[in-house]
Every structure is written in C-alpha cells, then in structure tokens.
Structure 1
Amino acid sequence: MELKMYHAFWGMEGTLREKMERAAQHGYDGVEVGLPSQDDENEFNELREELGLGYIPQIYTHGNHEESFLAQVERAVKFRPQLINSHSGKDYWGEEEQDRFFANAVQVEKQFGVPIGHETHRGRTMFTPRSTARLLRTFPELRITADYSHFTCVCESLLHDQEEDMSIIMERTIHLHARIGFEQGPQVPHPAAPEYAYALERFEGWWETILHRRKMEGHHVTTMTPEFGPPGYMPRIPYTGQPVADLFEVNQWMAGRVRERFQNG
C-alpha cells in the first residue's frame, strides 16, 4: 500500500506558486487546503498540473449545513480530488439534527462518487469519540478524517478508557492528519520534544493500526497530512508573542518521521 503525503497550507506564507513549489520540492504528493477563490482557480489548477500535485479540498459546512455541504462538494469534485475532507455540522446539535445531516451527506457522497472524510474536530458534530462512534454505528457508510488531537484535548486524556469507540473510529478512517495532541491541548509544542514522547507513541500506535487495517483490506493508497497549526494555535512565548517552534520545520519533522516509520508498511 502506498502512503501519500499531503502538504497543509494552513499558516504557510508566500504566494500560491511559492506554496505549491515548496510542497513539490519537499516531496509531497499533493496539497490540502480549502477551495480556491474563483479568481485563483485557474492558477491553482495550472500549478497542480505543472508540479504534478494531487489535491484534498477542505470544506466547512455553515448556515444551512445541508445546502452548504452540497454546494461545496459539487464544486470540489470539479478539481478531481483524491478525497474531500469535511468539517461537518456543529457540536451543539441534538441527535435528530445530526442524523438528518449525515443521512443527507451519505446520499451526496453516493451522488458524486468521491470519498468524503468527516473530520473529527472541536466545534463540529464529531468532536468526541462517543458522538463520532454513535454516528458511525448509525450510518455504516460514513468515513472519517482522523484528527484525534481534538479528541485528546476535549476529553483531557489519551483515551485509554474509550478503546471500544476508538476501534470503530479507526476502522472507518480514510485520511489522517498527523498532528500530535495531548491532554491539555490539540497540539504539543514540538512532536520531537522528549517530554511528549508518550503522546507521540500513542498517536503513532493509532496510525499504525489504521494503516495495517487498510493494507489488509486491499486499499492501494492511504493519505496523510502533517497539519500542525500556526502561532495562536501553536503556543507563543509570553510577552514577546514569538512562536515556540517554526511551523514549516515542525510539519517537516512530522512528515519525515511518518515516512521513516510507515512509508514501506
């Protein structure tokens, strides 16, 4: 099974060309970012073709969530994406509203024929292992973008007491976000720091389980995006406001670690 690495644009500086070229120069298979503006769409497509980069669009439901989901998926498929990553729904929805949205989402995915991973994310419907697992049991067709750092933050734990729910969530994961969270936040200051080795080990255990399962199921490709966040999301030094690490270097370290451990798995 091939592990394809995608470069996150979140927090990255530079022009569109500079960001695209940086991804290609550092060996990424594609980029993960929101849908380009109408003004940037032609340049975005031309650069992808020139540099041989795949694309995972991020979409964000809002307002009338069912309508916005449909409209964004309809536009996203025109880019011939590897898959679509969706920030879906809201954390305060009741079960009836959740079920109505995801029943519709399953039909939209069938209509367009492009895999959609609903991201496990704070503020969204899938913000805890329990809420996510309930939806997966209700809708067997649903698939996940795994950003488990949100779970560890929300639950203030590394989820050793939620193994049953995590099991079904890992079974349904089709895309991975390689960010290390911990009990008090969605992002450790640096994943190489020895004081966070225990969290790195826990996350890599989850990823290994997912990759092994997908290989055994006969999948030819699994995608992964190192996606540490910029200053503000990344901790800052008090008074100076300086970030505690360089964002690009952190994501590069994570990408190198993942390639070394899992590329030939």
Structure 2
Amino acid sequence: MELKRMRSLWGVEAPLEEALPDFKTRGYQGIEVAVIFTPELENLAALCKDQNLEVIAQILTAFPGTPRTPKAHLQALKAQVELARPLEPILFNVQGGCDSWSELEQDQFYDAALRYASTLEAPLAFETHRGQPTFTPWTTARILQAFPEMRLTCDLSHWVNVCERLLEDQEDNIRLAAQHCIHIHVRVGYEEGPQVTDPSAPEFATHLTAHEQWWEWMWEAQMARGQQFSTLTPEFGPPGYQHTLPFSGEPVGQLDAICNWMAEKQLHHFNFWKSSIEISQ
C-alpha cells in the first residue's frame, strides 16, 4: 500500500497557476477542493491535468440556505457531485447531514445517499465532522452498524473537540471507524478546539501521538482490506479556524508551513510504520 498526500485548497491565497506547481514540487500527489465554493472548475481541472495532480472533491451539503431536511441534503449532494465531474475526482469527501436529525432522519438520508453512491465511479466517503450525524464516536458507530457499506473520511480532531478529551474511552468506536475509513484528514485537535496552533510544538506532543496512533489503526485496516493506496490531507484551516492574535487578527503560525510540516511528518510516519509491518511479517 502506498501513501498519497493531498493538499487542501482551503486557505490557499496564491493564484492556482502558482500554487499547484508548488504543491507538486513539495511532493503532493493531488488536491482536495470544496466544489461549491470554487469557481471555474473546468480551469482547475485543466491545471491539475497539466501538473498531473489528482483531485478529491469535497461535498458540503449544509452550505448556507440548505433546508435541514434529508431530502434537501440529498439534493445538495447530488448537485455538487455533478458539479465536480469536470475534475474527474478519485474520491468524493462528503460533509453531509445534520447533527440535530432524529435517528430516523439520519437513516433516511444515509440510505438514499448510499444507494446513490453505489452508482458513482469514484468512491464516496462521509466525513466525521461537527455539525453532522457523525460528530461523535458513538453516533458514528450507530450509523456504521446500520449501514455497514458506509465509507468514512476520518477527521478525529472533531471528536476530540466535541468529547473534550483524547478519546481514551473510545478505542472500540475508533477501531470500528478505522474499518470503514478510506481517507484521512491529518489535523490535530485538542480538548477545546479542532485545530492546535502548531502540531510540531512540544506542548501538543501528547495530542499528536494520540492522533498518530489512530491513523495507524486506519492504515492497518486499509492494508488488511487490500487497498492499493491510502490518501491523507493535512487539512489545517485559515483564520477564523486558525488561531489569531487579538486586535490585529494576525494568524498564530504560518498555515502553508504547518500543512507542509504535517504532510512530511506523516510521510515519514507512514514509511516507518509500513517497514515495521513488513519486518514483522
């Protein structure tokens, strides 16, 4: 199993004609992009082809104005998948649904969404995310038990934030999520937020170690399933996701450097983990 590192366009301010060649030079194999907020998708598709960069299309069913009904979220999902087609994505990452839905409403949405997903050429994965039914380990576990065919994008920084702990009591639910995980957002969360100021800082070493252990469980499950490659995105966000100084609004840390540090760190982590697995076999 090989590792593909994807660079999110979230917070990228440089023109894409400059940014995409830089991503390629830094060793990224592709990009992840929220299609609903990205104009000129055909131009982006052409630029990606020029740089031989693959695309993960991010689908956001709860964008402003969407009624909080399963039917409306399903319609938004389908519309954005169609919008993303020029990108020829290798995966659809869906932030889908609403955290306040009843279990019946959740099941109505996922049943219809998964039937639709089965018609697509590229896999579709639902992200573990605040604001959606997958916002905790236990709500996600219930959904996975109801829909065992469901695939996940695992971003457990959200769970750390929601649960206000490093999930010490949630190993069974994390391992269950790992069995369904096909894409990972390698962002580090902490008890009071989904994004630490800098994952390389020593004060967050315990948090980074915990997240890296969870990512290893996901890689183990992917390898056991026979996946040809694993994808990850260092999805650290800009202000106001990123911490800023009061009054000036200056960001705490350099976003591009943080994303690149995490991408490089996890490449070395993956290679070390993989070599350890091979030696033990």
TM-score clears 0.5: yes
Residue pair 2:234, 2:263 contacting (<8 A) in 1 also: yes
> How far does the alpha carbon of each residue in 1:189-246 deviate from its partner, in whole angstroms, 9 at most, with x for none?
1001111100000000011111122112211111000011112111112232211100
Supply the AA of the counterpart residue of 2:176: I
> How far does the alpha carbon of each residue in 1:109-158 deviate from its partner, in whole angstroms, 9 at most, with x for none?
11113211101111112111111111000001111101100000000011
Could you tell me which of 222, 226, 250 is aligned with 2:230? 222
Q: Aligned partners of 2:177 and 2:41: how far apart in 1?
A: 34
RMSD of the alignment, in Å?
1.5
Could you tell me which of 133, 137, 150 is aligned with 1:142? 150
Residue pair 2:60, 2:95 contacting (<8 A) in 1 also: yes
Structure 1 pair 215/171, CA: closer, same or farther in 2 (3 Å)?
A: same
Residue pair 1:35, 1:59 contacting (<8 A) in 2 also: yes
User: Is 1:111 paired with 2:108?
Assistant: no
Shift of 1:184: 1.1
Aligned to 1:71: 79
User: Is 1:61 paired with 2:61?
Assistant: yes
- Superposition pairs of residues 82-93 of structure 1, within 5 angstroms: 82-93=90-101
Q: Which deviates the most, 143-152 or 27-36?
A: 27-36
Q: Aligned partners of 1:42 and 1:36: how far apart in 2?
A: 13
Q: Aligned partners of 1:131 and 1:216: how far apart in 2?
A: 25
Supply the AA of the counterpart residue of 1:3: L
Q: Which has the higher contact order (CA 8 A, sep 6+)?
A: 1
Shift of 1:39: 5.7
Shift of 1:37: 7.1
Residue pair 2:36, 2:60 contacting (<8 A) in 1 also: no
Aligned to 2:187: 179
Q: How many residues align?
A: 265
Shift of 1:42: 2.6
Q: Percent of pairs identical after alignment?
A: 40
Residue pair 1:74, 1:112 contacting (<8 A) in 2 also: no
Q: Which runs of 5+ in 1 are unaligned?
A: none
Could you tell me which of 188, 203, 225 is aligned with 2:196? 188
TM-score (norm 1): 0.96
Aligned to 1:12: 12
Aligned to 1:256: 264
Residue pair 2:161, 2:193 contacting (<8 A) in 1 also: yes
* Paired residue secondary structure (2:190): coil
Q: Which runs of 5+ in 2 are unaligned?
A: 67-71, 275-281
Residue pair 1:152, 1:182 contacting (<8 A) in 2 also: yes
Shift of 1:18: 1.9
Shift of 1:17: 1.3
Q: Aligned partners of 1:41 and 1:77: how far apart in 2?
A: 9
Structure 1 pair 100/199, CA: closer, same or farther in 2 (3 Å)?
A: same
Residue pair 1:228, 1:250 contacting (<8 A) in 2 also: yes
Aligned to 1:49: 49
Aligned to 2:141: 133
* Paired residue secondary structure (1:81): coil
Q: Aligned partners of 1:19 and 1:101: how far apart in 2?
A: 36
Supply the AA of the counterpart residue of 1:60: L
TM-score (norm 2): 0.90
Where has structure 1 moved over 6 Å in runs of 4 or more? none
Aligned to 1:31: 31
